[in-house]
Structure 1
Amino acid sequence: MNCTTAHEMWSKLHSVYDLKSEESLALVQKQFFEFKWSHDGGIAHHISSLEQLANKMDKLGGKIPKSMLITRILSTLPTKFNFFHSAWDSTEQSKRTLENLTTRLLTEELRFGSQENVEDESKVALVSGKFAGKKNRFGKSSSADSVTRCSLCRKNNHTFKDWTENWTKRH
């Protein structure tokens, strides 16, 4: 509003919104070094977010080496990836690339997902098998004809699985 010429306006806009200012670089560097794992996304989201910050720094004149980006990715992984650091350290130096790191981390994430599914199925099997073969208070074995009892709420005529399915539908 205070500028009288187009040149003054351009200069003012340039000084306010200049992407190459040191303040902008400092802010992006701060974001990069304070970056933490977010539970909202997976490995791909995590790596992509850090790469975006590295690209912003590069555009602002603060280029960082790929090795620093790789180190930052590794240092911000959740604890379930702690074993991965040893595996990565044992990798040949020539194969320690960002692409290789991304591929290996995505593979590990898939393995975690399949292991969690197996563990969940095992937990259901343990809960449902907990009362299998037990005798009731009259000395009779449990069978399909007998009254079923929920292992969670201890009420009759439904099972833990029924209870969780109904709860999931309601919520």
Structure 2
Amino acid sequence: MTTTSGATTVNNTFVNSTKKFDTAAISKLNGDENYRVWRMRMTSLFTSMKIMDIVNGSKSRPTTTGDTQDKWDTGNTDAFTSMLLTMTDSEVEKISSCTTASEIWGKLSIMYQSTSGESKQVLFQKFYGVMEDHFHSPVRTMCEIQNLAAQLGSMGTQIDDDAIVARVISSLMSERFRQFREAWRSVDSTKQTSALLLSRLKTWELEDEESNGSKKKTESSKAFSANQKGGNKPRKSKEEIAQLKKTTKCHNCQKVGHWSRECPDKKKNQNASNGQDSNANQSKQQHSSQQQTKAYMAGESNNEWVNDSGATSHCCGRLDWYTDYIKFTTPSKIEIANGTYMLAEGVGKIKLQALISGTWTEIELINVFYSPGSANLFSENLLLDRGF
């Protein structure tokens, strides 16, 4: 606690002899970026303290000693201290030569509230240059335009409500506001006020957020959960893996005793394919998928992924989810558990969010077969092959 001419400061709260004010609630002055808001708050503070006449210089320090001079000194000190506590260090440096509250108030006004033609020109450029974009909501854009108009008004250039409304509408020129602009033009011109426009924009913004939220929930694939190596689920021992191989088939040759990545036939095929061009490899891969790709579950296209213990490959019925896609020259047959087939028209990659060891992470599924209208199948066998 420090004491100065009958006033104290305690934990950023300014206290004078009769009143207490929490100056910590006032954002510190940081140049012209927040000068207008800071000045408004400080004006209200000094008015409530009944010392605004000392701050703006309309009441000079009495020449005769006595109670009136002491009262002025106390008010000046209160205002002086209040301003210093609500300014950043760099701003205090700029007014360090000032000795009274009115000198600080006047110097800040000259620096940040100049009425020169040059300052007006800059404000006019900002006023007519504000445009709505993805970084500014339409409501925030309108508030920014209104603030600039108020600053011009404080310099003696009044901008009427009609001009503000017209400026806001002209800032909403993107295609997504086309219907809004048409609806606004249908409003009676006598009712086209800034208050009504702000209300309409708030309603539009809430409906747009709700619409986008529903769209994302509908269009995005639902995530699945899996444990990575080294996660919460302990890894199987060599003996457990060897025992598991005795009861599961290789996805490549359909024989028991080994898994796909260890398959001798797969290694032979890889050696035989060396030197062939990419078109031959793609044809061979497509032929292989026709013979061996199986799916346990299929149905109508939806927005969920299904963990499928019978599928030998990932399958998806949503073409719009693919980030990379290759269409087959001839559709591939995928065998379903009931003995029928569905057709895969191509293969590609899909990105989605996965919950891995308690953390949502973006992953990429590769070699995902596209079958229009099918369920979205996540192959547990592929997960098993990769050691999960």
- TM-score w.r.t. the length of structure 1 is 0.68
The counterpart of 2:310, out of the listed 139, 143, 146, is 146
Q: 1: CA distance between counterparts of 2:193 and 2:139?
A: 15
The amino acid across from 1:37 in the alignment is: E
Question: 1:105 aligned to 2:201?
Answer: yes
Matched residue SS, 1:107: helix
1:26-75 deviation digits (Å, cap 9, x = unpaired): 21111111222243231221111111100011111111111111111111
Residue number in structure 2 paired with 1:49 = 144
Question: 1:37 aligned to 2:232?
Answer: no
Q: Which runs of 5+ in 1 are unaligned?
A: 1-12, 129-135
Give the deviation of 1:99 after TM superposition: 0.8
The amino acid across from 1:93 in the alignment is: S
The counterpart of 2:362, out of the listed 153, 167, 171, is 167
The amino acid across from 1:167 in the alignment is: E
* Greater helix share, structure number: 1
Q: Which runs of 5+ in 2 are unaligned?
A: 1-106, 225-291, 299-305, 317-321, 324-346, 364-388
Give the deviation of 1:123 after TM superposition: 1.3
Residue number in structure 2 paired with 1:72 = 167
Q: 2: CA distance between counterparts of 1:112 and 1:56?
A: 31
Question: 1:91 aligned to 2:283?
Answer: no
Q: 1: CA distance between counterparts of 2:129 and 2:136?
A: 17
* Residue correspondences, number: 145
Q: Which has the higher contact order (CA 8 A, sep 6+)?
A: 1
The amino acid across from 1:120 in the alignment is: K
Give the deviation of 1:161 after TM superposition: 4.4
Q: 1: CA distance between counterparts of 2:117 and 2:353?
A: 59
CA contact (8 A) 1:54 1:63 kept: yes
Question: 1:118 aligned to 2:214?
Answer: yes
Give the deviation of 1:162 after TM superposition: 2.3
The amino acid across from 1:25 in the alignment is: K
Matched residue SS, 1:141: coil
Give the deviation of 1:94 after TM superposition: 2.7
CA contact (8 A) 2:149 2:159 kept: yes
Q: 2: CA distance between counterparts of 1:32 and 1:39?
A: 19
The amino acid across from 2:209 in the alignment is: G
1:110-151 deviation digits (Å, cap 9, x = unpaired): 11111112221221369x9xxxxxxx8347434743347375
Matched residue SS, 1:41: coil
* Greater strand share, structure number: 2
Matched residue SS, 1:114: helix
The counterpart of 2:154, out of the listed 51, 59, 67, is 59
- Over aligned residue pairs, what C-alpha RMSD do you find? 3.6
* Aligned sequence identity (%): 18
Q: 2: CA distance between counterparts of 1:85 and 1:140?
A: 52
Give the deviation of 1:79 after TM superposition: 2.7
Structure with bigger gyration radius: 2
Question: 1:19 aligned to 2:122?
Answer: no
Q: 1: CA distance between counterparts of 2:206 and 2:315?
A: 33
Q: Runs of 4 or more off by more than 6 Å in structure 1?
A: none
CA contact (8 A) 1:150 1:160 kept: no
Matched residue SS, 2:362: helix
